[in-house]
Structure 1
């Protein structure tokens, strides 16, 4: 595995959006690139729909 993310992406990312298939696809694509989930997901309700967040981290950025 490479030590840096592809396409100049940051080592830490917080993905957010409506809890729908598009959000799940974004998380899945990041995992396929080599990112790992970091911490638990979060969810809130904005009065119309559920908004979710998931932190992801590039493996070489994890503390030992």
Structure 2
């Protein structure tokens, strides 16, 4: 089964670490990063989709995606 996550956050090193952690846990980049200006907070925010192939198992919407193996 292929699972999908969208990581987002302020455009800073913490976001880069979040993406790097996902990659080190077996997630794969999916598409390009996206950027947007948050006018209310006057900051740039970014997002990156990641996917991961996990063993066949029933999908459970109540299960955290990081708990699939």
Q: Do the two structures share a fold, i.e. TM-score over 0.5?
A: yes
Question: Is residue 28 from structure 1 mapped to residue 23 from structure 2 by the alignment?
Answer: no
How many aligned positions are there?
A: 52
TM-score, normalising length: structure 2: 0.69
Partner of 1:8: none
SS at match of 1:57: strand
Unaligned ranges ≥5, structure 1: 5-10
Q: Give SS of 2:32's match.
A: coil
Higher helix proportion, which one?
1
Q: Within 5 A, what are the aligned runs for 1:1-64?
A: 11-47=3-39, 48-58=42-52, 60=53
Instruction: Measure how far apart 1:51 and its partner are.
Output: 0.6
When normalised by structure 1's length, the TM-score is 0.74
Query: How far has the Cα of 1:45 moved from its partner?
Result: 0.4
The unaligned stretches of length 5 or more in structure 2 are 55-69
Greater Rg over alpha carbons, structure: 2
